[in-house]
Structure formats: structure tokens, C-alpha cells
Structure 1
Amino acid sequence: MSERVIAPKSRGFLFLDAHPGGCRQLVDEMWEAVPGKAGPGGEGPVALVIGSSAGYGLAATIAGLARVGIRGIGVCFEKAPARRTGTAGWYRTAATARLAREHGRDMVFVNGDAFGDAVKERVAELLAERFGGRLDFLLYSVAAPRRTDPDSGEVYSSVLRPVGAPYTTKTLVFDDEGAPEVKEVTTAPAEGDDVEQTVAVMGGADWERWIAFLAERNLLAEGFTTAALSYIGSPLTAAIYRQGTIGVAKSHLEATARTLDERLAKTVGGRAVTSVNAAAVTQSSTAIPGIALYVGLLRGVVGDAMIAPVGQLVDLWDRLTGARPLDPDDEGRVRLDTWELDPGVQASVAERWATAAGDNIAGLADLDWFTDEVRRLYGFSVPGIDYSAAVETDVPWPADAG
């Protein structure tokens, strides 16, 4: 047993510890937010979610379990409790596995490097031994700072940089007392092989490798469908995101989807798409200059009309399973971001962005919501949790996880 009181200590938007009880409650809330839940147990479709412990991947896992009744495998890369607590994703995975068991879903979780072939081999073994040797859906949601190529051993590193020229933008920070500040930051442009390195990590190479790996082992069911989760975002953040190094990688991901779509249609009558999700506070997005300010202003404009990731992924699962038309655009992208990119919404956000400063930001952005969302990523600011009480931190990885 390893019980202790866990206080929220952070460096900027990065917290040093996670709260197991808060992470568990957050997962429970996400499950309850899913409408029209599938009945308990049953033989639902077999799904593989790569990047299942955080952000849109976590939402995909929970929405799939609750809405569709999927069974299958989640893949993520999390740290176990040691001197520090486990990572938030460690505790969220344990909570997700508990809910799956309680509702009769056969869902197992593999903890390891999704880029490596060892994890791919383990997943292939589980599919063959436990799930009848046929995979119906694969959802790919991986955000990582680096990737080791399984063939060459070369390590690639992704960077968040504009392409062609330095980029200066407003960004939201909080001082040591928690007071909000709006500052200008300048990011140097990509140089050398920054673009190629970022594409190698965040583009479609690993997604395509997963599909090829499973196809070679005859593990793709007839009608197999795969979706990679992506983001385009606002013109306000385009220079650092869609037009930056990450944007080049996302374009590569979309091109990969079109290639895979043609290939799967011929081999298994299947589909491949990218899902363009809408803005949310995630551990990845808070690292991008300007995104924190943009999301806070967006929430200030749309309020409760902002659709959380789990709501977006309910929509995606409905499309993937045929409950609604898939309806991809001309680039093969399923657009879940239309409410965010509505011209009226974007005009209002742009107006607030232009005047945002430290002395007026509290009236323009929903800062209380934003700071709570950041803290909730680590299990803090979750209603119903007594943060003054000691909590067990040594939570085991789900049984039968591999």
C-alpha cells in the first residue's frame, strides 16, 4: 500500500503528479456523458485504439465501449507509480478497464511503444488468440515527441515550429500566483531536416505500418475501417499549426489515408479516413504556442455549446458503424470541427484575440474553465474528490493487459 495526499504541483501547464481518484472520477464522467449506451456484454465489433489513454484516443476508447459495445485492445505508453505517482494515463487506463469489466466488455490494454514492432506483435497475438483473429476497426491517435524506426533504428524527433519565417503570437500564461498574463512569444522557423523529422514522427508512416503489419497476418475483417484522429484548427493558429511542421505532418497523414483507402477497398472492401476533430484542452495542445489562449477565447465565445472530445467521438463512432453517413469531404476527411470553424464563431474569437491583454483577458476568455480543464488532465479540479485525503497511488495495470 502506498497512500498519500497528492497536491497539485505544476510547472506551467505540466503537473508533476496525478491524482488516481480524480482520474477515475473523470473517466466515470466521460462514460456517463455518452448517450444511447449499448447493452451489457455481447459480441460487439473488435476495435484497436492506438493512443487510448489520453485526449481524443481516450475519448475514442470510452465512446466506443459505451456507445458501440466494442471489445478489443487499447495501446498506450504510460509510467507506473514509483517515487512519483503513475502518469495520469496510467490511472485513466485502470479506470477504463474497470468500467469495461463492469459492463461486460472484453477490453485489454497493452502498455508500450506503439511505434515498435514488439507491441505490434503482442497486439497481433491478442487478436488471434482472444478476439477471433479479425479486427473490425482501428483508431489511430498518437502524439509523441520522438519515434524510433523499427527497421533502421534511427530516432526521429518532432518539433513545433513555423515553416519559412519566425512566428510571433500571443500566448496565455499564468504567473506564480495563478494570475493570467497575455504575452507575445516568437518561435524560430524550422531548419535543417526539422520538417522531415516531424513528418516521420507525426505523419502517417506508423499508421500505415500498423495496417500493413495486421494485413500480412490476415487479421483485417471484411469491411475493416480505420480512422486517424487529426486537427486543422483556426486561421489564428495556422502559422504554428496547420502551416507549420505539425501541419506538414498532418497533410502527410491525410495523404496516407487516401492511399490506405484505395488499398483497403481493393483487399477487404474497407475504408480509411482522417477524422478532423475540434479544439480541446489536451496534454499535447497546451504545449503549442497560442493554443491555450485560442481555446480559452473559443470557450468564451461558444460556452457550453463547446463539444467535448467524448461527444465528438460518439459522433465519429456513429459514422464509422453506419448509424450515420460517414460523409467524408473531398480530401477523405470526416469533419467533426464544423461548429468550431463556423464563420461567426471564428469572427468573434478573432475580435477577442485582437484586443486580448493581461488587463482584459478575464472578460474575454473563460479562464476558470480553461484552468480547471488543464488540472483535470491530471485528476485535479474534479467534483466529488476530497483532495485533503490520502489516496492509494500504487494502482496496478489492468489484468490480462499484456
Structure 2
Amino acid sequence: MSERVIAPKSRGFLFLDSHPDGCRRLVEEMWRTVPGPVTAEGDGPVALVIGSSAGYGLAATIAGLARVGIRGIGVCFEKAPGRRTGTAGWYRTAATARLARQHGRDMVFLNGDAFGDAMKEQVAGLLTERFGGRLDFLIYSVAAPRRTDPDTGAVYASALKPIGSPHTTKTLVFDELGAPEVKEVTTAPAEGDDIEQTVAVMGGLDWERWITFLADRSLLAEGFTTAALSYIGSPLTAAIYRQGTIGAAKSHLEATARTLDERLRKGLGGRAVTSVNAAAVTQSSTAIPGIALYTGLLRGVVGEAMVSPVGQLTQLWDQLTGARPLGLDEEGRVRLDTWELDPAVQDAVAERWSSATSDSIAALGDLGWFGDEVRRLYGFSVPGVDYNAPVETEVPWPAPAR
């Protein structure tokens, strides 16, 4: 037993510890928001979610389990409890596995490097031995700082930079007392091979490698469908995001989708798409200059009409499974961000952005909501949790049900 009281200590938007009970309750809360299953009783489709423990990957996992009744495998990379608590994703995965078992879903979670072929071999073995040697769906949701190429051993590092010239933008920070400040930050442009390195990490290379690896072992079912989760975002953040190094990687991801779609259609009658999701507070997004300010202002404009990640991924699963028509734009992308990019919404956010200062931001953005969402990423600010009570931190990684 290793019980202790866990306080929310942070450096900016990064918290040093996570709260196991808060993470568990957050997962339970997400599950409850998913509408009832649309599939018949019995074995659901077999799915692989790569990046299953956080952000939109976690939402895809929970929505798939609760809405579609998927069974299969989730892959993520999380740190076990030790001197500090485990990562929030460690505790969220344990909670997701518990709920899956309670609802009769056979879901196995693997912790390790999704970029490596050893993980691909492990997944292939499980698909063969446990899930009948077939895979119906693959959701790809990976945000990582670096990737090791399995063929060459080269290590690539992603960069968060504009392309062509420095970019100055407003950004939101909180001082030591928690007071909001709107500051200007300037980011130097990409240089050298920053773009190529970022594409190698965040583009479609590993997604395509997964598909090829599994196809070569005849593990893709007839009609196999895969989706990679992506983001376009607002013109207000375009210079650092969609038009920057990360945007180059997203463009590569979309080009990969078109290549894979043609290949899967011919070989299996299948599909490959990118799903363009809408803004959300995630551990990845809070690291991007300007995104925190933009998201807080967006919430201030749309309020409760903001669609949560699990709400968006429920819509995606409905489209992928045929419960709703698959709605694609002219680039062949599923668009879950139409509410965010509505011109009236963007005009209202842009007006607030232009007048946002440290003095005015509290009236322009929903900072209470934003602060709670950041804390909830680590299991804090979750209703029903007694944060003054000791909690067990030594939560084991979920073993597969027998």
C-alpha cells in the first residue's frame, strides 16, 4: 500500500503528480456521456487504438467501447508509479480497462513504444491469438516529441515552429498566484531539417507502417477502416500550427490517408480517412503558444455548445460504422470541427482576441472552465473527489481478462 494526499502542484500547465481517484472518476464521467450502444449484443468489431490513454485517443477508446462495443487493443506510453505518482494516462488506462470489463468488452492495453516494431509484433500476436486474426478498425492518435526509425535507428525530434519567419502571438499564462496574464511570445522559425524531422515524427509514416505491418500478416479484415486524428484550427493560430512545422506534418498525414485509402479500397474494400477534430484542452495543445488563449476565448463565445472530445469521437464512430453517413470534405476528410470554424464563431473569437489583455481576459474568456479542464487532465477538479483524503497511488497496469 502506498497511500498519500496528492496536491495539485504545477509548473505552468504541467502538473508534477496525478490523482488516481480523480482520473478514475473522469473516465467514468466520460463513459456516462456516451449515448447507449448502437450495435447488437455479442462480439463487437475488433479495433486497435494507437494513443489510447490521453486526449482524442482516450476519447476514441471510451466512445468505441461504450457506443460501438469494440473489443481489441489500446496502445500507449505511460509511466508507472514510483517516487512520484504514475502519469495520468496510467491511471486513466486502469480505469478504462475496469469499465470495459464491467461492460463485457474484451480490451487489452499495452504500454510501450508505438513507433517500434516490437510493439507491432506484440499487437499482431494478440490479434492472432485472442481476436480471431482480424482487425476491423484502427484509430491513430499519436502526439510525441520524438520517434526512432525502426529500420535505421535514426531518432527524429518534432519542433513546434513557424515556417519562413519568426511569429509573435498572444498567449495565456498564469502567475504563481493563479492570476491570468496575456503576454506576447515570439517563436523563431524552422531551420535546418526541422520540418523534415517533425514530419518524420508527427506525419503519416508510422501510421502507414502499422497498416503495412498488419496487412503483410493478413490481419486486416474485409472492409477494414482506419482513421488518423488531426486538427486544422483557427486562422488566429494558423502561423504556429497549420502553417508551421506541425501543419506540415498534418498535411503529410492527410496525403498518407489518400494513399492508404486507394490501397485499402482496392485490396479489401476498405477506407482510410483523417478526422479533423475541434479544439479541446489536452496535454499536447496546452504546449502550443496561443492555443490556451484561443481555447479559453472560444469557450467564452460558444459556452456549453462546445463539443467535448468524447462527443466528437462518438460522432466519428457513428460515421465509421455506418450508423450515420460518412461526411467528407473535398479533401476526403471527416470534419468534426464545423461548429468551431463557423464564420460567426470565428469572428466573435477574433474580436475578443484583438482586445484581450491581462486586465480584460477574465471577462472575455471562460478561464474558470479552462483552468478546471487543465487540472482535470491530471485528475484534479473532478466533482466527487475528496482531495484531502489519502489515495492509493500504486495502481497496477491492467492485466487482460482471462
Using the size of structure 1 for normalisation, the TM-score is 0.99
Superposed displacement of residue 174, structure 1: 0.2
1:108-187 alignment runs, 5 A limit: 108-187=108-187
Kindly indicate whether the alpha-carbon contact (under 8 Å) linking 1:238 and 1:244 is maintained by their aligned counterparts in 2: yes
Is the CA contact 2:106–2:401 (under 8 Å) kept in the aligned structure 1? Answer: no
Task: Work out the CA distance in 2 between the residues paired with 1:42 and 1:293.
Answer: 45
CA 1:155–1:336: 2 relative to 1, 3 Å: same
Question: Secondary structure at 1:100's aligned position in 2?
Answer: helix
Instruction: For 2:163, give the aligned amino acid.
Output: V
CA gap of 1:41–1:27, structure 2 versus 1, over 3 A, is: farther
Taking the aligned partners of 1:38 and 1:127, their CA distance within structure 2 comes to 24
Q: 1:401: how far off?
A: 8.5
What is the rounded CA distance, in whole Å, between the counterparts of 1:344 and 1:40 in structure 2?
40
Closer, same or farther: CA 201–380 of 1 in aligned 2, 3 Å: same
- Secondary structure at the counterpart of residue 169 of structure 1: strand
CA distance in 2, matches of 1:330, 1:56: 23
Query: In structure 2, what is the Cα distance between the partners aligned to 1:154 and 1:165?
Result: 28
CA distance in structure 2 between the aligned counterparts of 1:225 and 1:40, rounded to whole angstroms: 20
Instruction: Determine the C-alpha separation between the residues in 2 that align with 1:41 and 1:94.
Output: 25
Q: 1:400, CA displacement in angstroms?
A: 2.2
User: 1:206 & 1:171 partners in 2: Cα distance?
Assistant: 32
Q: C-alpha separation between the residues in 2 aligned to 1:129 and 1:377?
A: 35
1:196 aligns with 2:196: yes
1:383 alignment partner AA: P
Task: Please report how far the alpha carbon of residue 38 of structure 1 lies from its aligned counterpart in structure 2 after TM superposition.
Answer: 5.1
Query: 1:84-95 to 2 correspondence within 5 Å?
Result: 84-95=84-95
Structure 1 letter corresponding to 2:22: G
After superposition, what is the alpha-carbon deviation per residue over 1:331-370, rounded to whole angstroms, capped at 9, x for unaligned? 1100000000000000000000000000010000000000
**Aligned partner letter, 2:59:** A
Separation (CA, whole Å) in 2 of partners of 1:401 and 1:237: 44
Counterpart AA for 2:62: I
Give, as a single letter, the amino acid of the residue that structure 2 aligns with 1:323: A
What CA deviation, in whole Å up to 9, does each residue of 1:252-295 have, x standing for no partner?
Answer: 00000000000000111100000000000000000000000000
In structure 2, the partner of 1:275 is 275
> C-alpha displacement at 1:180, in angstroms?
0.2
CA offsets, 1:102-142, max 9 Å, x none? Answer: 00000000100000000000000000000000000000000
Q: CA RMSD in A?
A: 1.1
Q: Percent identity?
A: 83
Taking the TM superposition and a 5 Å limit, the aligned residue runs for 1:18-37 are 18-37=18-37
Greater CA drift, 321-330 or 107-116? 321-330
Q: Does structure 2 conserve the Cα–Cα contact (< 8 Å) formed by 1:42 and 1:104?
A: no
Q: Which amino acid aligns with 1:107?
A: M
| Residue 250 (1) aligns with residue 257 (2) | no
Query: Could you tell me which amino acid in structure 2 is paired with residue 80 of structure 1?
Result: A
Per-residue deviation, residues 317-339 of structure 1 (Å, max 9, x unmatched): 00000011112112110000000
Is 1:350 the counterpart of 2:350 in the alignment?
A: yes
User: What SS class does the counterpart of residue 153 from structure 1 fall into?
Assistant: coil
The answer as to whether partners of 1:40 and 1:103 remain within 8 angstroms in 2 is no
What is the DSSP-based 3-state SS (H/G/I as helix, E as strand, rest coil) of the residue aligned with 1:185?
strand
Counterpart code for 1:250: K
Give 1:253's aligned amino acid: L
Aligned position for 1:2: 2
Paired with 1:99 and 1:60, the residues of 2 have a C-alpha distance of 15
- Secondary structure (helix, strand or coil) at the match of 1:324 reads coil
In structure 2, distance between residues paired with 1:182 and 1:346: 20
Q: What aligned pairs does 1:339-378 form with structure 2 within 5 A after superposition?
A: 339-378=339-378
- 1:397 is matched by which residue type in structure 2? W
Give matches, 1:331-342, under 5 Å: 331-342=331-342
SS in 2 for 1:163: coil
SS of residue paired to 2:22: helix
- Residue 326 of structure 1 is matched in structure 2 by 326
How big is the shift at 1:73?
0.2
Take 1:214 and 1:172, find their aligned partners in 2: how far apart are those partners? 43
Distance verdict in 2 for CA 1:401–1:286, change over 3 Å: farther
Q: Return 5+ residue gaps in structure 2 as ranges.
A: none
Q: TM-score, normalised by structure 2?
A: 0.99
Alignment CA distance shift 1:54-1:40 (3 Å): farther
2:107–2:400 Cα contact (<8 Å) kept: no
**Pairing 1:246-325 to 2, within 5 Å after superposition:** 246-325=246-325
CA distance in 1, matches of 2:27, 2:196: 36
**1:238 — aligned with what?**
238
| Kept after mapping to 1: 8 A contact 2:101/2:401 | no
User: Contact 1:40–1:105 (CA<8 Å) still a contact in 2?
Assistant: no
Residue of structure 1 in register with 2:215 after alignment: 215
CA distance in 2, matches of 1:331, 1:347: 24
Residue 72 (str. 1) matches residue 72 (str. 2): yes
Query: Secondary structure of the equivalent of 1:172?
Result: strand
Q: Which amino acid aligns with 1:217?
A: R
